[in-house]
Structure 1
Amino acid sequence: MTAPADALDQLRRYAPDVVEPDDFDVFWRDTLAGAAAHPVLVDVRPERTDLRLVHTWDVTFAGFGGDRVRAWYTRPAGTDAPLPTVVEYAGYGRGRGLPHERLTWPVAGYAHLLMDNRGQSGQYAVGDTPDRHGAPGGPWPVTWGILDPRDYHYRRLITDAVRAVDAARALPGVDPTRVAAVGNSQGGGLALAVAGLVDGLAALLTTAPFLCDVQRAVTLTDVAPYGEIGRYLAVHREAEEAVRRTLSYVDGVSFARRATAPAHFGIGLRDTVCPPSTGFAAYNRYGTGTGADPEAREIHVYPFNGHEGGEALHVRRQLRWLAATLGAPPAAGRA
């Protein structure tokens, strides 16, 4: 059943104080400083796609620890003007796929950088970026290195996501002052982390964000990916304290508090993958630690939808909101 009006009202007021370690900011400052020691662009080469209305480049950039991360850079054909740019992050178990699979943003006139997920290729889509950092943990990406925040897979993946913005800003034909972070599910969680870590981000679009209010989320659903953490703890019963400590360094609510960019959220009230209260936790805390304008954020709720959310309707709302927020990109053929 869909949430009644009083339950939705409770969601709109749900703003928990999540567990946040004292060295949260130092942890991320030092992690990102280590990545920034490496020049961000490693290789940029044209990619044949057989598409006539867009051009694509195969990009390699230096992510966590200088590791090579792959991405597709796609932009409308017929213009060399610096464009507003969307940096997009893929969902759990997905790679960057093939360059013609995600064309909404470049067809709408934006430059578009789609980041590969290190080590996650093969479950839903292919990718080209390995994760060579082994550490104790479970067999699923969400549990890789989960016993120590320094070893955790999401420390590396979030760092890659930040570096993807740096890479986009360094690419030709990008307006570095108009870069948006975009994602759904795990991608939405990565985009939210980027909003809390990157200076000068122009916009955030996040749908059904993963890793929000995460300490509570693992108790709310047995569906993957959260369910994979539960299954790990069902076997490693003595590991709960260490796991919860690690998760406290990657909670999207903590990143949301530190964000300043205008934000657009989407939530399905029947979502059993990323429970709706966890997304509302991030939305209701968004910008509260920075004094960001609360009027510069909005949320769209789909009462009868699950993890799929508003799908095409929501994308149309995103397109219209982003054009109003960043300024519509120029039409093809105009400088």
Structure 2
Amino acid sequence: MALFDLPLDQLEQYRPPVEEPDDLDAFWARHLDAGRTRPVLLAAERVDTALTGVETWDVTFAGDAGHPIKAWFTRPAGTDDVVLPAVVEYLGYGRGRGFPQERLTWATAGYAHLLMDTRGQGGQHGSGGSTPDPVGSAPSAPGFLTRDVHDPETYYYRRLVIDAVRAVDAVRALPGVDRERVSVVGNSQGGGLALAVSGLVPDLAAVVASAPFLCHVRRALAITDAEPYAELTQHLAVHREAEEQALRTVAYVDGMHLVRRARADVLVATGLRDTVCPPSTVFAAYNHYGDLARDAGEAGPDREIAVYPYNHHEGGEGFHLDRQLRWLRARVLG
């Protein structure tokens, strides 16, 4: 894929006007308050992974509307009596939590690691998921982006963001976790969820988001026809009268809006040839990250962005994981 977006010098200065809903804060406060009326931990059962270096629990927690959400909780073996910093990880589009043996990086780096399953997903990539979505949808395009996109109250991604926040609540309720040192990480859809959570949970230790989805959605629709954004294009090609309402709904979950409220330091990554989550959409969120703190006269969170000029949606892969590990260690492990 050739370069198709703005030149890097323009991306670094790209701060599009914010068009967030007037009731954005009240909207999220209402849904967060409703979610937190229920106990968050529903079950945590130790599982045998046949691995000797880590210990794993099959966790169920109460997500949006109390729906049971599955997760794997993994920590270094022999640390039951040690309070560890935690990493909550969110998955990419179409993935489920798979097998606990598949994602060991953060636990073997010394963190307690909670890998959140994604409701209704797990049928497109990886080793499957374990969490059904009990909520139906009005007519939508194949995939998840347009499920109930005409109503922010029932929109799929509104519910998924609440799940993601409750995953932070869940890890903080587990034994042996340092509640003050919880970070969130993710790639693609997972990166978008990590950025959304950064604006809704004010006391995170750090945020790591690579090639984040659901940022500056209006821009994405204008410059890419790649999935998953193409789902919304396809849907609006049929429901021609619904554009204004659909874009208003998506604005509630747009990372460019939510990250303005972020307080935690962040490491972001983008590939300049990424048509799935175009670099200008990533820079739009990055450049607005922590705006409200700076507007209030505070220093605001530290921000770093890794740019991979010759990469598509795969970004820096293992090269960037090394940077993530070292970056997070410096901020959390000391």
Equivalent residue pairs, number: 328
Contact 2:293 2:299 in 1 (8 A): no
| Cα drift, residue 199 of structure 1 | 2.4
Matches within 5 A, 1:1-335: 7-80=7-80, 81-125=82-126, 126-138=128-140, 139-291=142-294, 293=299, 296-328=302-334
Contact 1:258 1:288 in 2 (8 A): yes
* Unaligned stretches of 5+ residues in structure 2: none
Contact 1:52 1:77 in 2 (8 A): yes
| Cα drift, residue 282 of structure 1 | 0.6
Residues in 1 aligned to 2:299 and 2:92: alpha-carbon distance in whole angstroms? 29
Residues in 2 aligned to 1:87 and 1:295: alpha-carbon distance in whole angstroms? 19
Contact 2:216 2:281 in 1 (8 A): yes
Contact 1:2 1:303 in 2 (8 A): no
| Cα drift, residue 295 of structure 1 | 6.6
Residues in 2 aligned to 1:179 and 1:137: alpha-carbon distance in whole angstroms? 38
Provide the identity percentage. Answer: 59
Residues in 1 aligned to 2:41 and 2:174: alpha-carbon distance in whole angstroms? 8
| Cα drift, residue 293 of structure 1 | 3.6
Q: Deviations over 1:210-255 (max 9, x none)?
A: 0000122122111111011111111111111111111111110111
Q: Deviations over 1:89-147 (max 9, x none)?
A: 00011111110111111111111000000001211131111111113141321111111
Q: Could you say if the C-alpha distance between residues 304 and 51 of structure 1 is closer, same or farther in structure 2, counting changes exceeding 3 Å? A: same
Normalised by the size of structure 1, how large is the TM-score?
Answer: 0.95
| Cα drift, residue 3 of structure 1 | 5.2
| Cα drift, residue 17 of structure 1 | 1.8
Contact 1:287 1:293 in 2 (8 A): no
Residues in 1 aligned to 2:304 and 2:332: alpha-carbon distance in whole angstroms? 15
Kindly report the root-mean-square deviation, in angstroms, between the aligned alpha carbons of the 2 structures. 1.5
Counterpart code for 2:18: V
Q: Deviations over 1:275-310 (max 9, x none)?
A: 000000011000011226457110110000010000
Deviates more, 1:283-292 or 1:42-51: 283-292
Contact 2:293 2:300 in 1 (8 A): no
Contact 1:84 1:174 in 2 (8 A): yes
* Unaligned stretches of 5+ residues in structure 1: 329-335
| Cα drift, residue 327 of structure 1 | 1.8
Residues in 2 aligned to 1:39 and 1:74: alpha-carbon distance in whole angstroms? 21
Contact 1:18 1:213 in 2 (8 A): no
Query: Which 4+ runs in 1 deviate beyond 2 A?
Result: 1-4, 291-295
Deviates more, 1:158-167 or 1:293-302: 293-302
